[in-house]
Structure 1
């Protein structure tokens, strides 16, 4: 019920486009922009090309905004999370603190397909690595998950220690807890940086876990 309400609300946020042309992706935009494509074929055999252009940081509005282009022209726009009605279904866009966690075409029958990233974008380069070096890609993906798991465990240990040492805390019921791992300020900073890097790598593949990536944020 709540999911359907959020879906309808996202559709209502969509505003019509102004018809401007889609700008080419530039290499210096890899940290601030994502660009994905969806190619659909009409009943008459003609191909329609949708493009979803996402600005990760919009300083004027204070939130991420997604733009939908139809055959190279600005067709619609919406703040993220966005749901764009398109031919035969919708395009759903959701963002996390590290990039995107969803950019999928959902057909009227419920089938889901991830859109294809622009080859010049960070997501496109990561996808090319996956195609050309699948073993290395899987290792990097595994390493990202391992880093996030370690970061989550360290976070839980630190929180447990702080809670049991807090005045009027739970220590009177369960006793105090001392973390077996005591990181320095430099160590905590290093762990924070590598967990952010791991979640960013996962965002390039549109992977997201509320437990792992949410804790890293």
Structure 2
């Protein structure tokens, strides 16, 4: 189990035999598994792209979030203010959020866990 649901599931018989369960081929997870099985190079490229998007989003959004968190006077008097070196326009932050959501969804559909990217689950 992970914070987002079941990542792996096995059927265990009374005799102890273990069979991995696979996602329904018509589900989003099943379609992503089919791409991985039938087009492994494309699947790796998609996975690498989603990884790059998530790392770039972290590098762009964390400084902006730190600036917003240190802006209130009560916090600023204790910690000082942080000025982000990144200042995206509103449409840039919205676009980055949408692309990040797509990359996160792709990571979830792969049914694999990464301790770094998936919050320590796995």
TM-score, normalising length: structure 1 = 0.45
> Is residue 187 from structure 1 mapped to residue 85 from structure 2 by the alignment?
no
Q: How does 1:58-207 map onto structure 2 within 5 Å? A: 96=4, 100=5, 102-105=7-10, 115-169=21-75, 171-207=76-112
Distance 2:61 2:115 in 1: 15
Q: SS in structure 2 opposite 1:199?
A: helix
Deviation at residue 152 of structure 1 after TM alignment = 1.9
Distance 2:67 2:8 in 1: 39
Distance 2:69 2:26 in 1: 47
Distance 2:49 2:12 in 1: 33
Distance 1:175 1:120 in 2: 53
State how many pairs are aligned: 115
User: Where is the strand percentage greater, Structure 1 or Structure 2?
Assistant: 1
**Contact 2:11–2:21 (CA under 8 A) maintained in structure 1:** no
Distance 1:113 1:181 in 2: 49
Cα deviations across residues 60-113 of structure 1 (Å, max 9, x unaligned)? xxxxxxxxxxxxxxxxxxxxxxxxxxxxxxxxx5562xxx551322769xxx97
Distance 2:97 2:21 in 1: 30
Structure 1 stretches of 4+ moved >6 Å: none
Quick check: which has more Rg, 1 or 2? 1
Deviation at residue 175 of structure 1 after TM alignment = 3.3
Where structure 1 has 5 or more consecutive residues not aligned to the other structure, the ranges are 1-92
Q: SS in structure 1 opposite 2:7?
A: strand
Mark the CA change 1:208 to 1:199 in structure 2 (over 3 Å): closer, same or farther: farther
Cα deviations across residues 104-163 of structure 1 (Å, max 9, x unaligned)? 22769xxx9752122222211111111121111111111111111222222311121112
Distance 2:91 2:47 in 1: 26
Where structure 2 has 5 or more consecutive residues not aligned to the other structure, the ranges are none
Indicate the RMSD between aligned Cα atoms, in angstroms: 2.8
Deviation at residue 208 of structure 1 after TM alignment = 4.5
